[in-house]
Amino acid sequence: MKRRLLSGLLLGTLWAASADAQNRYIVRANGGLAAVRLVCTLLGCNVAGGLDGSLGQVFLVTTSSTVPATTFLNNLVRQLGIVDAELDLTASISDSGYTVPPALTDSAPVDYFGVMVPHGYVNQPAQQIVRSSEAQNTFGVKGAGIVAVIDTGIDPNHPALQGALVPGYDFTRNQYGEGDETGDVLLTSGPVIDPSQSLWVSDNKAALVSQSTAAVVDGNPQLSEFGHGTMVAGVIHLVAPGAKLMPLKAFRADGTGNTSDILRAIYWAVQNHANIINMSFNLAAYSQEIKNAIDFATLNGVISVAAAGNQGQDALVYPAAYKNVISVASTTNDDQRSSFSNYGSDLVWVSAPGEGIVTTYPFGTYAAGWGTSFSAPFVSGGAALMLDCGGSLLMDLLIFQNQSDGAQAVAHAKPLGPDLGHGRLDILQALTAWRSSLGVLGIL
């Protein structure tokens, strides 16, 4: 609790002023806040806030939009005490939409670890393909630890997720809470979405509703990724219903977010005891500071999982391409690479189903989505099941640069060719390998 309060104090003392309309820079300084403030006195900039919680070395600095960014950066990095600096770029969430899958209309209620959910959610093809239910039953696990979800937020009132959430933070508004993304929609009157209708995510609309029943957010280009975080959380919960979810809202409802908010979210997750970080997004460009933050997470035994991206290319995208991140591509239910999924041996660690994934959606509803965003949380959930197998401190074995036993356990997948890394995720195989490695180490 002390650590969480300290992180919050550092965030709260500096983030009163908005920097949205200004040029923004991420700055690392040896001398901490005092050094950055001194530099800003010399260069005419402002310190908007700290980005790395209690570490106190990385800050968001702003200037007037009339100051040329390249000129300012060149001057900034020459100042005494400044280690490095980069532009605070915009990251994005992007997924693809197709026809509604049959599982989405299978709404018969079933009990899932004490909560009533639709049958199609629990027994959808993807759940069977990755064999998560088999893994749960074989090893008597339901997931453990905390999975931080850096995304658009999570609906804290969704019946399936209510008992799974721990306190998080909304970095888009600088406030504590569950990062409730339903606050992005201003209600006028009547229901937002008819819970009896089937929803699916589209690349150009927030939600399409069957029978032509429109959601409030339907067709609003400013809310094109509304619901994304709740959907990602629902996949993790499906695989690991015993794990806790930490909502870290770094993206607005239109699917955009600043690098600085993502940076704050990573440090927040580590300093508030998350075990796994799910990142279903791509950065606009390589960021050294995001790499530093993920390195910090790895050194603290936190597992980082990221979506490989939906451009259908053999290309490096970040954070997925950082070496200590599990990068996840998307596959069809027939174990083929999804046409939209990025691929390549230098990018992909493993793949998982990412088409027609039925999951939770805001306002107590369910939706289906397509994209690597919905493949990554299958791996995050699988890691939470592994944590339940092996004890609270064993996940620090998953330091991928060292090709540890834990990493190889995740890599026990169905081979699909070199462009998809170790193949398609098989959680039963992964847990079997993980338990075996713990036995060799004498832990079990």
Give me the numbers of helices (H) and strands (E) for the chain, helices first please: 12, 20
Q: Which long-range contacts (CB under 8 A, 24 or more apart) does 337-340 make?
A: 337/416, 337/419, 337/420, 338/370, 338/372, 339/312, 340/96, 340/310, 340/311, 340/312, 340/370, 340/371, 340/372
151 catalytically annotated: yes
CA-to-CA dists, residue 41 to 150, 214, 425, angstroms: 34, 52, 52
List 94, 158, 228, 338, catalytic entry:
228
Distance CA 69, CA 303 (A): 34
Q: Taking the mean position of all CA atoms in its chain, how far away is CA 195? A: 26
Give the number of C-alpha atoms closer than 13 A to the C-alpha of residue 52, restricted to the C-beta side. 20
List 52, 95, 151, 180, catalytic entry:
151
Give the residue among 13, 199, 224, 202 at the shortest CA–CA distance from 105.
199
Distance CA 384, CA 275 (A): 8
List 96, 373, 375, 437, catalytic entry:
373
Distance CA 338, CA 352 (A): 10
Sign of CA dihedral 77, 11, 363, 144: positive
338 catalytically annotated: no
H or E stretch covering 29: strand 23-29
Instruction: Give exposure, 360-375, as e/b (b: 16+ Cβ within 10 Å).
Output: bbbbbbbbbbbbbbbb
Distance CA 316, CA 225 (A): 23
Distance CA 249, CA 226 (A): 12
User: Residue 401 in contact with residue 324, Cβ under 8 Å?
Assistant: yes
Give the residue among 110, 132, 107 at the shortest CA–CA distance from 197.
107
260 catalytically annotated: no
Residue spans of beta strands (DSSP E) within 292-348: 303-307, 326-331
Give me the active site residues, please: 151, 228, 373
